[in-house]
Structure 1
């Protein structure tokens, strides 16, 4: 635990020394709230609440994929990363610290969304629903954390940037995060249940009191977690075998 906290503190300080990283983490979800949610669903309590949950899930996806997918790939080319991987502590302190930092920056990213929702929309939740919603967000981040780790350990930094960008936006749109949750296009309704973004956002919708996750979306969410976890483990071991054997 001591090593985990040490690595977490080091990685956190390394990130916050570049303020634009924090700003960018919350900018796109907040901008999406201002441009897409406030004008079109801000005066509808149910629509605004569901859309806020969607934008918070959007922030979770962005933080997890970009933090791990790009951050890990960039760290792998630095001398410090190979050195820390030769230490006898094992992989858990480094990987655990990456995940904890991603969760911290996820919470930072959703704060602007919550503030905009509270000030400019009719969205309403109880304190208990808010806590449950945050818990659902953290659970919903799991497949994106694992996918980010897979990309970061499997690809060089330039390729990782492109793959994360190509993966992130289609998942957000296909999962229905950027469309009206109460009246999504037929194509989105057909595709969404097969994407982890839909399973994640349905968990959040249920946590704040609107409906329950559909069985297909929940099952596919679990499949994505299992597959992404296996790929992340494979990529880590492959990278370790290539550079340290």
Structure 2
């Protein structure tokens, strides 16, 4: 009599390919949900570029390489900040209001693939928003970025975005759709102006400069400008970035757990 034997699948056999496939599926699903509303894509891509055209290109400093590069860096951070507040903030709040999201959170795969897909989706839109912005800077200003600073600039932009990512997730998991949209709009422009993303901090009056130094957008702006132009980094940059990253990250985790406990227990 022959005996049939079956090898039981180990944890690595099931998890590694399955996990990657789930991340890919969630990324694709969230991407399709976003592009089905074209105005959301247009707003994400066009608004930072329009800001560049209005606030940088017509100015005299657009013909100065260092100042134009610094200005492009500032607007680039604004583009990433917009994605964090709207894609991660308002987008999460909208998803939470849908029955489909409630269903996904009851599945036994955990929150990891869904969160990874959301992060990849936002990263894709952040990179997309930078393409026309960089083209405008290259064609219409004297901005330049040496090849040896490209990776440094990308890393600085990613680090500068961390507090905004935590803030966006906190808004998304902590508020309803209407409230998240209002709060994201209220936060966007004051943080951008106060952080020196539209006007260089050197033009600020003393009282505004003192407040600006403690904002996450100002610390992020100083880090990105230092990475792209080589100017000295203020001493407050790293402590402010670290403090805001820890604070907004803790708020995002608390908002997620509170939402999960309120709706699924």
Cα pair 2:70 2:229 within 8 Å, conserved: no
TM-score (norm 2): 0.88
1:194 aligned partner? 214
1:79 aligned partner? 99
2:25 aligned partner? 6
Deviations 1:154-207 (A, max 9, x none): 111111111111111111011011113554443442122211111111221122
Question: Which stretch of structure 1 is more off in the superposition, 27-36 or 49-58?
Answer: 27-36
Distance 1:188 1:13 in 2: 42
In structure 2, the CA distance between the partners of 1:85 and 1:106, relative to structure 1 (3 Å rule), is same
Cα pair 2:219 2:241 within 8 Å, conserved: yes
Structure 1: any 5+ residue segments left out of the alignment? none
Query: Is 1:28 aligned to residue 47 of structure 2?
Result: yes
1:241 aligned partner? 261
1:132 aligned partner? 152
What does 1:167-182 align with in structure 2 at a 5 Å threshold?
167-182=187-202
- Give, in angstroms, the shift of residue 17 of structure 1: 2.5
Distance 2:196 2:51 in 1: 13
| DSSP-derived class of the 1:49 partner | helix
1:38 aligned partner? 57
Query: Is 1:156 aligned to residue 169 of structure 2?
Result: no
Distance 1:115 1:134 in 2: 16
| DSSP-derived class of the 1:9 partner | helix
Q: Which of 100, 109, 112 in structure 1 is aligned with 2:120?
A: 100
TM-score (norm 1): 0.95
- Give, in angstroms, the shift of residue 145 of structure 1: 1.1
Structure 2: any 5+ residue segments left out of the alignment? 1-19
Give the number of equivalent residue pairs: 245
Deviations 1:21-73 (A, max 9, x none): 22100222111111110111211111101000000000010011111110111
In structure 2, the CA distance between the partners of 1:184 and 1:47, relative to structure 1 (3 Å rule), is farther
Query: Is 1:19 aligned to residue 52 of structure 2?
Result: no
Distance 1:221 1:129 in 2: 21
| DSSP-derived class of the 2:229 partner | coil
Distance 2:242 2:47 in 1: 27
- RMSD between superposed Cα atoms in Å: 1.4
In structure 2, the CA distance between the partners of 1:185 and 1:28, relative to structure 1 (3 Å rule), is farther
Which entry has the higher C-alpha Rg, 1 or 2? Answer: 2
